[in-house]
Structure 1
Amino acid sequence: MATPQGRTPGDRARYAQLLDHAGRATVGLRPAPGAAAPRMWGSGVFIAPGWVLTCAHVLAAGDGRRRETGPDGVVGVAFGGRVAAARPAYDLSRPAPEAAPGAARADLALLRLLDPEPRHPCAWLSDQPATLLEDAYIFRGHDRSGGEAAGEEGDGARGGAAWPGARAERDAPASPVDAFIAVRFGARDARGLQFGSDVRVAPGASGGPLIDCDRGEVVGIVKGRHLQDHVGLAVPVTALRGLGPEHLVAGAEGLGPDPYHALMSLHDRWHWAGQELGRATGPTWFDAQHAIMAGRGRLWGIQERLQALDLLARLPAPRDPLVVEAAVGEALERGERPAAWALRTWRDGHGALYQGSDPYTELRTFVHYLRIVAQLAADEVRDEPGEAAAAVRAQAVRLAEFVQAKAVVLQPQDRRRIGPVRRRPRSVLVEFEPLFYDEGAAELFNWSVSEGYGQGQWLRVDVQESAGGVPFEQAREQVLRQLGGRLLRADGAAGPGARVRLEVAVPEGRWHTAAGQWEVAASARRTARLRPVGPGRAVILRDQGRREQVDPAWWQRWQGLRTAPALQALRVGPREGAGARLGACAESVWRLLETAGEGALPALCHSVADGFGRDAVGVALDTGFPAGLWPARGHGEERDCDAVCEEFHRGVRELLEGSGGVARLPELVRQLRAKAAEAAEEGTHWARDLVLLYDDPEDPIPPLFTDRPQLSPG
């Protein structure tokens, strides 16, 4: 005999393991434990440890009033032959008092078990919106219940079938499969998901799961049957994306400022933990899914999804839902909004990628999306200190490693395309590479421009390379002609109101480069005015000789500066009078720099273009100093220090004493430049051409952009 909707007993047997898990995860809702003659109100389903999802109307009587509950609103959750105490925690059916008229509501509620210890199964909630399907089942309902939902029936009818969670309380329990009824899911509109059935929906079905057996997922929560057109209705589980702190029930213990992210993280991590080696549990929901979906030829299967969602659950929530939509749009290779539903978390973005495409394209899309997420998550905490930020960086690395493992089967052109993920740049690097010819030949340069994303990750966006090179001044003019537009584009990619840092890497002999006074186009207009770059954005100088290899002295000095309770200016200058060279006091300068304390920062008032100043900077770099300060036009060796020098050193001391740490120096120097440029504050003119060497070994400049040997031409 055929089952409802023409299914055969063999079809039902195929889903027996899945429906068994669904039955054990489905609960009955009733008065608090110990209540006399309790009546079942409806159903619910475990979706995370200690958390039950149901319809909000199940917790209300037929006249809309709250059910009779125990002290503090305690209700009973019946499962596995026992009744546990729980309390309503979130109600999505009522918008917050401050919500705008017409704010979205959902007939959903969440209950939290008061005892967090009892073991119970959890259903798998789909990460994607429900589509048209035939292999769908709903829980039949309880044989004892009461109450009705307004405009619907389902909780108030009599008759019905056994409830799987109550099998231990029944004399003649039904099988798990018999506890579910096959339905045909046919549409989705403002009322929710619509389904029909040849069999009347029994009482107590409200709040139970609507299961898409083809995917092995819960896609909705059953509401009941509409009285006018007699279609069954369910709330899509994607409506949970509207969950916010405003839905917290008064007096309840919540999930923090982002309850939806917290809840789904608990859900996804629980399912991944169920597959750990050595666990004493039996078959899991994933095992049932795998039995149904194995052998379909998917390159991105349920095992990849299981691990990916666990890794995403360990990351912080995205700072803005628009970031998720942008990442999905990029992975799908289109810029528009990816779908007509809201995407709030990285999990939601994952669910938006199922496009019914061929297995290879689907794999490529998921790999691309997860690579973007790993980079975005790392970028958010790139410069943050502390254990929490370090943990996020570690989780981002785990996700990136997972992505790399899945990307090995991609075609070479796809690996190349996905490699330079579009991210939020934090800096633009201009690098001048000297070409070394025979002694006495003119000094010539090539140059490049890169966007930086932190931790030594760079994407070159412009390169000027020739066998002969050009003089430094010409190379600088070539850079400046296009630098304004490049900075504006990086600002736009970094986010609203952002001003990325300009970093300039120069070789020895060019440490006096006053990049903060460079003038670049102020807009993208063809006739845009030129404006100094330094007052509007942080500008730092980097040593072109330091690259991906970090020597111990450099690293130790940097760590010392980062952890020092305060920074101190270390005045570096010759002990003799005018005309003194480093050769006359080499040992004293070397000893001064090598024995300096952790918070010391070299400060020179001498010119660093040549002579003593140039040699002293070289010693500072050789002894590991990652930062230093000097004027671009310091005084030469023909004169001794004077009142101008004293003003400079006093200003540097005050700057460092109130800096709050080395990480803030680029912005503080920018502020000084801005004040000096506007003459807004007396005594800041010394900072107009201030140069800040700021060489972060945790973010080394990229390898040389040419593999061409540095040989004499011809």
Structure 2
Amino acid sequence: MSGGEDRLKGLLYDATVWIGGPGGGGRPAPDLWGSGFFIAPGRILTCAHVLAEAPPGVWRGEPKISVVYPVRPEENGGRREATVTARLLYCLPEHDPAGRFDRGSWPLPDLAVIGLDEEVEHPCVWLSDLSTPPGGASGRLEYRGFRIDGGKVRARSGACAVEGTDEPYGVRLGIEGGEIKAGLSGGPVADLGRGAVVAVVKARSNNSDGGTSVQITALRELRSPGRAGQPYQELIRSHDRWHWAVHQRDRDVARTWTGEQSKLPNSSSDWRPEDRVEALGLLAELPDAPDSGTVLSLVEKACPGQFELRMPPPVSWRDGAGLLYDPVRKSETEAVLGYLLRVAGSVHELAPTAALTLQDWALERAGSLPEHVRSEIGRLAVVRERVGVAAGRGGAERRAEPETPVEGHTAAPDPNPPSGEGTSALRDEPVPETGAGPWTGRADADPAAPPATEAAVVVLELRDDWWLENHYHWTVRLVGPTGDAELVDAGEDLAVTDLVDPPQSLLDGLSRSFLRADVGDYAAPLEVLVPRKLFDLPFDAWRVNGPTTHESGPLGLVRPVSIVDQWPHGPDPSEVPRATRGTLRPLTADPSARMVQLLDAHKASPAPDVVLFHCGPVHGGPAGTALSHALDAGFTTLVWYRAHATPQEREQVTEEVRRMIDRLRTPAEVAAAVMALRADHAAGSTPHDWARHLAVLHHEPGRRPATADLLDTP
């Protein structure tokens, strides 16, 4: 083991704690629940099952947890440990008050975040920013925790190796000649080759040595849909601020994680640990990343193809930077700096000073790159006037807007406190060549502006089971702007009765897709590709309760939902000119021609800009026959009222839908218009409660939906 790895073990041990009940630290027979470790000032990460047998008050957030942490003997009357009270802040998954989760079978992610009740000095571990499963850059990992031995709590550590993964977050550990003892759960697992904590000890294996752990990326599940201030982003921002401040303060007088990482054989000579800690510290001064779609969009523009399906979607700006290790066809420095500048441009209007500081640091850091690369990176700057930033080991002058710290955190002192304000002038001409850097690029194209709405669509397909009647296989796909489809999740043996209240696995697949597809205010539409007999099911009434800010109600209330017939209609895509694929003609100028009754539709001339309407179910009978004829004739869009209606109700709904259609420009807007009607009713601004019974079918001529590939058994 290298000296750098050995010193990193010391830093890891200093941040590891043990957790017990009230007063557990001073009892003759210590009450050890499990282990944990500091990840941010005043914040400890552990396993949720460590608290499984805690008194009920712990689950209500009462300060009934004791944390025993290491201290210097000379600062604590000769004692090497001190005790502080704490309380539970977050739990993954949420605590089950019915008691279905027990200590031995707590489901993944099995994580909990504990907050101290008072400010104390303590170190923090460095959390990996990689999105890939841990492998051990040096061929081994190091675990740390506590167990009871001879009636006393004693530390235990050792080497282990990754033996496999259990998606989405489980990691199997092999420990030669050992096992995960009781009490070690919640302790850190570090990759000493990279100098980062990559997992949390969870349990020992049955009938074998070794055990299991939880990837640190599972922390990204800490999200609060529709609320300001995201728990995970607050935690990771506090983590990065602490490490940047400590590195500035202590790098010449004490060991720091960044300093030791720079001595490792695996340390990059391109994008150095010192670069990373400073860049992440600057990102920590920005407002929260709005959603995973925005982060992924900026990463894709900085270096296409970095994200892989096996990775959990990024949540914070830090996660995006962590996707840029080993970039394709670029140096790591070029890729990360391009990402940082795009991030700065995307938040400039919200936080101009912090964005300018990040931008100026990135431009200064690019000074060592080849001239043509510097020129390309310079074009990403979005402001003309510069904030004075000193590059290199002296650090950057921090000029970020003040932000409210995470409640209860003990912030490390900032070596360079704020001093002055920057400018928010938009760049409209090349930056003149000055001593600050040779930037000659233009920003006419404004590449660092907030990402434009991406036309990503989530497609759910339900396909008949070949053997079981009224059973279905399902797939969830993400379709990008170019039409490329990516399989996100799949399942089988789904009964038709399950489609009213779908299984959690299907909803989770939709949730992961929306997490990646939603960008800012853009909520990705859902297309449901189904056989005709399922047309009248209320897919828009499903609740995903996912992690994005849009999941605040039924799907049809927060995003456009439309049905697509599984049976293809219209011309073959190869017969449609490429320039016209996916386009729609404006609706006809004559409003009366924009909607006709479904039963008469097959008698009308084919017209892709006519929206059909029907009052009643359409999955079969005369309405189903008329619908088939209409689609075969070239009609593309149908709105129907699923519920049975009286003649008076039918007349009213028909007139209301006609008014809605009259305000639209293309049939592609119908699903969004129906969603808006539902949202208006939910907000109490309109009496359109009947809109919850509306359904929309829409398909674009020449476009084949993204279907599953079926394989015959050989």
Per the normalisation by structure 2, the TM-score is 0.48
Structure exhibiting the larger radius of gyration computed from Cα positions: 1
